[in-house]
Chain A
Amino acid sequence: MIKPQSFQAKVAEHIELNKKYHLLRLELIEPHRLEFQAGQYISIAIGGGERRAYSIVSTPATNHAVDLLVDVEPAGKGSTYMKNLNPGDQVEFLAPLGQFVLANEPKLLFVATGSGIAPFKSMLFDLLEYKKDTREMWLLWGLRQVEEMFWEEEWRQINEYYANFHYRLMISKPPGLWPLVSGHVDKELNDVALNQDWGVYLCGNKEMIAEVAQMVQNRGVAIKKIHQEKYA
């Protein structure tokens, strides 16, 4: 692992994806390059000596900036700080942090809820677009409501382009007559032919992680091949 260090950066973009999720791009000032592994996170100073952790959404190929996905709905100190950042504002963060990175399993399953998609966007775009990885990969992503949806086009495009990548988005509280998949991510697991070849990566709320970890173990995935990052 690369030793973390302190970075000064400037907010280059702040995009409101919808009412719940914002995307921030932090352009590095000093040091001006960051080496990291897809799946790692930064710890950003939010004032008063406090810090918050955010997974890096962008891929390691973009080493001059980091993109972060922020759930602004909790409206706590961290999310309020991030929500109020404007282009040009300067921030300080520690990076790279964490060991939620890819191991070397022959097949890969990613299961996320909400903003837990953040490290998987980095991992999957790095694997598919930059490393041209041909392993079978599945992404199951659960959101609560249709209004929370974002990045549909990005995932649709790579789903269409890469035959080895399979993607399902599930809405747990869909409106009436919702034509796409509804329910929880665990339901979709039945479509994945799991066995001991799979590495399973879980990111999101702790209930989903506990439930899916147990389900995939029951279907033959070894515990050491289940990797998890809990989001509060």
Chain B
Amino acid sequence: MPKYKIKILKDKCIGAASCVGIAPAVYQLDDKNIAYVVKEDGDTQENILLGAQSCPTNAIEVYDADTNEKVWPKD
């Protein structure tokens, strides 16, 4: 079971692709240049989180899969 659950806020995504650059097996862009999740456990937890943290618009939310607690972004 993946450690993280990932939620993409599609209306915030600007297609900057920093997430794709850091964890391409987890994040990709669709034909409208909007990010989507390919595989929630496709990379290390560190890279999954870095991919989300590198997003310039905070369009990626990361949750602990067990507790459902939001890991990123910090409110």
Contact = CB atoms under 8 A, between A and B. Distances in A.
Interface string A25-57: 000000000000000010100001111110000
B63 interface: no
A94 B50 contact: yes
Contact of B74 (A50, A52, A96, A232): A50
Interface of A: 1, 3-4, 41, 43, 48-53, 94, 96-100, 229-230, 232
A53 to B, nearest CB: 4
Nearest to A100: B16
Given A43-B18, A49-B74, 5 more contacts: A4-B21, A43-B53, A50-B73, A53-B16, A94-B18
Interface in B12-28: 14-18, 21-22
Interface residues of B, number: 15
B56 A53 contact: yes
A1 B57 contact: no
Given A4-B21, A43-B53, A49-B53, A98 B16 contact: yes
A1 B16 CA distance: 13
A52 B54 CA distance: 7
A48 B75 CA distance: 12
Contacts of B14: 229-230
A142 B74 CA distance: 34
B54 A43 contact: yes
Nearest to A206: B14
A43 B74 contact: no
B16 A97 contact: yes
Given A94-B50, A232-B57, A53 B72 contact: no
A77 to B, nearest CB: 11
A1 B19 CA distance: 13
B21 A3 contact: yes
A43 B56 contact: yes
A43 B74 CA distance: 17
Contacts of A50: 53, 73-74
A232 B55 CA distance: 12
Interface in B24-75: 50, 53-54, 56-57, 72-74
A99 B74 contact: no
A51 B16 contact: no
Contacts of B72: 49
Of B17, B56, B74, the most chain A CB neighbours within 10 A belong to: B56
Contacts of B50: 94
Of A99, A229, A230, the most chain B CB neighbours within 10 A belong to: A99
